[in-house]
Amino acid sequence: MAVQYAAGSDVFFQDHFDYFWNQRGEWVEEPNVRRGGESGVQRVMGSDDQLLYFKRQTGHIHSSLLHPFGRPTVLRERDALIGVDEASRVEAALINLEKCRQRLSARQATAHDMKQLRRHSSFSPTDWKKLVYFYETAFGSAIKGLSQ
């Protein structure tokens, strides 16, 4: 699994933003309202027949010790994607950062993400079995309810 993003070319940033913001597709995470904003994810077929996932987010604010008065959640997520890109590989993808608020253990957070991936993915049963096999091989344990 890799993270890809649209790199800049000779078109201005606003043109890129407007192009992607105006794309529409099937909701894979229905819009929800929390953190003072609205957020959801759509599955969109790109112009080159590549399957893309667009996160639509407006008004979400994240507060932390570093940003006690709040900071747009999209900036935190951008920083996370840049970190993944700089690492040049992805070992696990976070689907929902809401677990950060719930103070879950790493094991609980992983189980949450994998179960959410199962619910929202378009993986075939064969691909899902491969993912579960590699997860169990890499981490040495199964997640209860993951292979169903």
Parse the chain into domains and list their residue ranges: 1-90, 96-148
Is the pLDDT confidence value at 11 over 70? Answer: no
Nearest to 94 by CA among 74, 110, 105: 110
- Residue 29 CA to residue 121 CA, distance in Å, equals 11
Strand partners, 61: 72
Are residues 31 and 39 in contact, defined by beta-carbon separation less than 8 angstroms? yes
Confidence at residue 96, expressed as pLDDT on a 0 to 100 scale: 55
Are residues 143 and 114 in contact, defined by beta-carbon separation less than 8 angstroms? yes
Strand partners, 54: 42
Confidence at residue 47, expressed as pLDDT on a 0 to 100 scale: 79
Confidence at residue 92, expressed as pLDDT on a 0 to 100 scale: 52
Mean pLDDT across 34-56:
85
- Residue 144 CA to residue 86 CA, distance in Å, equals 32
Are residues 22 and 35 in contact, defined by beta-carbon separation less than 8 angstroms? no
How much is the mean pLDDT over the chain? 76
Confidence at residue 1, expressed as pLDDT on a 0 to 100 scale: 42
Helix (H, G, I), strand (E, B) or coil at 25: coil
Mention every residue, 6+ apart, whose C-beta is less than 8 A from residue 101. Answer: none
Is the pLDDT confidence value at 95 over 60? Answer: no
Of 6-15, 43-52, 112-121, 125-134, minimum mean pLDDT range? 6-15
